Amino acid sequence: MDFEELGEEEKKLLLRSFSFDVDSEGYIIDRELNERLYSPDTKSLIKFENAGLIPGSLKIIDTTPLTISKFLREKIDSENGTG
């Protein structure tokens, strides 16, 4: 799996494809539930600028080195023989 950065518009397009959007204050919203997305990992609402977008169905993380580490441990390390 490759890691990439997306421009603002591309990131919004990917989010909208999965029924998410960004509200006027820059928070990710779940359009089906019409509510802001909460991260159980960081115990915060997820800001657009800080959102990491993980496959396969879209998983949105509140990106910090700790949440990336969790993602890597759960999804990547074993693929690379470091699990």
Partner 1 sequence: MVLDEIIKKAVDLPLPEFLKWLIASKYLSKIGDEGIKKVYSIIRKIHSEGKFAFFPNKEEAYTLKKLAARSWYREFKRILPGHWGVDVVRTACYIMILEEKGDNNRVKEIKESVFRNRKILGLRLIEMVQNGVFVAVLDRLTTLKDEHKYSHEDLENDFENVLADWQRITIFVQNADSKEKIKTQAMQFIDASESTFFILAKGNAIATAQSVLVELQKEDYILEKGYVWFAKTSNDTKPPTYYCGVYSSTYLL
Residues that bind partner 1 (CB under 8 A): 1-7, 9-11, 13-14, 16-18, 41-44, 49-58, 63-66, 68-73, 76-77, 80, 82-83
| CB nearer to partner 1: pick between 12 and 36 | 12
Q: d(Cα 37, Cα 43) in Å, to the nearest integer?
A: 11
Q: d(Cα 45, Cα 31) in Å, to the nearest integer?
A: 15
| Structure token pair of residue 64 | 């910090």
Least separation in angstroms between residue 36's CB and partner 1 is 17
Q: How many CB atoms lie within 10 A of CB 63?
A: 20
| CB nearer to partner 1: pick between 36 and 72 | 72
